Amino acid sequence: MNDIQPFRVAVPQSDLDDLADRLARTRWPDELPGAGWDYGIPLSRVRDLAEHWRTGYDWRGHEAALNAYPQFVSRIDGQRVHFLHVRSANPDALPLLLVHGWPGSVLDFLDMIEPLTGHFHLVIPSIPGFGFSGPTAERGWDQHRIARAFAELMTRLGYPRFGAQGGDWGSGIARALGTVAPERVVGVHVNYLPLTGPTAGLSESDTERAERTAAFAANRPGYQVLQATRPQTISYALTDSPVGQLAWVAEKFTEWADPASKISDDVLLTDVSIYWLTRTAGSSARLGKESGYGVPCPVPMGVAVLPHDILLSVRPLAERTYDIRHWTELPRGGHFAALEVPEELAADVIAFFATLGTWAA
C-alpha cells in the first residue's frame, strides 16, 4: 500500500476551547448605517454566525460524520495527502477522484458519496495545503504538481485507470491530471470552466458570458488579488482571528451560491472550522500565487454549467480548446455545486462517464 496509513479526525479539546475563548473575546469593527452588502459581509450576519459557532454548533457531531467514511494519509513528494477512500460494491467500478476547491474541503462531497458509489470507487483528497493534508512546506505546489501527487496516490491505491471531477481549483487540478497522466485518465468532468476568446459568431448569451469572463480577468476581485500576491500577509489575520476566517469564507458562501440554495450554517461552520483547526488559511491561499489559470486537458471532458456560478462556461469556446463530449446546463445551483445540488451533479457525472463506454451504467 506504499505508506498509506489510516486516519481519523480527532481535534484536541484544547483547540476547541481556544476557539470558543477567541470567539468570546472578538474585537468587533464598526459598520456604516444601512451599508448592507455594499462594503462586504454585514456585521449582523457575522455576529450571528460567530455566536452560533461559539454556543450552538457541535464540531464533534460533524467530526463523527467525517469519520463515518474510511480516511487515510500518505506522504507523496514530501507532502502529507489526506483522502477519503470509499469503494463501490461493484469490483469493476471506475475509480474516480473528486477534487474540491477554495474555500471548500472534502466536506463538499459527502452528499455525493451515496449516489456515486453505485458506479465508482471514490477517492476524495484534501488538496495539499488545505484541511487535513496540512500546510505545504515548500514552494512549487501548483495545480500540476498536485495533479502528479494525486496520480501517484491512485497508483498506490492500485488504480491504473481512473476519472477525475472538480470545480474551482478542483477543475484546474482535474484538467491537469489529464495533462500529466493522459494514458491513465479516461475522462474529466468539471463544473467550472471560465474561458475567454474571440466572440465573433457566438450567440448573444454566449457573447455575454465571454465578455463577463474577460471583464473578471481584467479586474480581478480583491480577495483573489490578495491571495495570489500576498498570501502570507493575509494569513496572519485569518490564522489568529476565527471571526476573520469566518467572514472571509462566509462572504463567498453567500455571493457565489444560488440564492435559492439551502447550504446550512452548520455546513458553512464545519468548512470554516476545518480551515481554522488545521491552520491552512495561508497555505490554501498560496495556491493562487503558485498556479496559473490556463490548464490544457487532452482527454475527453464533460462540463456542467450552473446558472448562479461566478462565471459561466461558453461551449463554442470550450470546444476550441478541449475535447468536449458532454455538456449540461443545470437549472439551478451556483459555485458550490457539490453542496448545493449534489444529486443533480452526481447524475451528470454518471451520465458523462457513461458516454465514454468505460464502465456499465
Give the pLDDT confidence score for residue 68 in this predicted structure: 98
Whether the predicted pLDDT of 26 surpasses 90: yes
Q: Give the Cα separation of 323 and 320 in Å (integer).
A: 8
Q: Rounded mean pLDDT of 23-38?
A: 97
Whether the predicted pLDDT of 360 surpasses 60: no
Q: Which helix (H) or strand (E) holds 255?
A: helix 242-255
On whether residue 361 sits in a domain, the answer given is no
Q: Give the Cα separation of 232 and 69 in Å (integer).
A: 33
On whether residue 176 sits in a domain, the answer given is yes
Number of domains in the chain: 1
On whether residue 93 sits in a domain, the answer given is yes
Q: What is the CATH classification number for the domain harbouring 251?
A: 3.40.50.1820
Lowest mean pLDDT among 33-37, 105-109, 288-292: 288-292
Q: Which amino acid is at 104?
A: G
On whether residue 101 sits in a domain, the answer given is yes
Whether the predicted pLDDT of 73 surpasses 90: yes
Q: Rounded mean pLDDT of 239-264?
A: 96
Whether the predicted pLDDT of 221 surpasses 90: no
DSSP 157: T
Over residues 160-218, the pLDDT tens digits come to: 999 999 999 999 999 999 999 999 999 999 999 999 999 999 999 999 999 999 999 88
Q: In which domain, by residue range, is 258 found?
A: 4-355
Q: Which amino acid is at 319?
A: E
Q: Give the Cα separation of 292 and 194 in Å (integer).
A: 13
On whether residue 190 sits in a domain, the answer given is yes
Its pTM stands at 0.96
Q: How far is CA 208 from CA 187, 199, 214, 294, 310, in A?
A: 29, 9, 10, 21, 13
On whether residue 50 sits in a domain, the answer given is yes
Over residues 252-261, the pLDDT tens digits come to: 999 999 999 9
On whether residue 250 sits in a domain, the answer given is yes
On whether residue 360 sits in a domain, the answer given is no
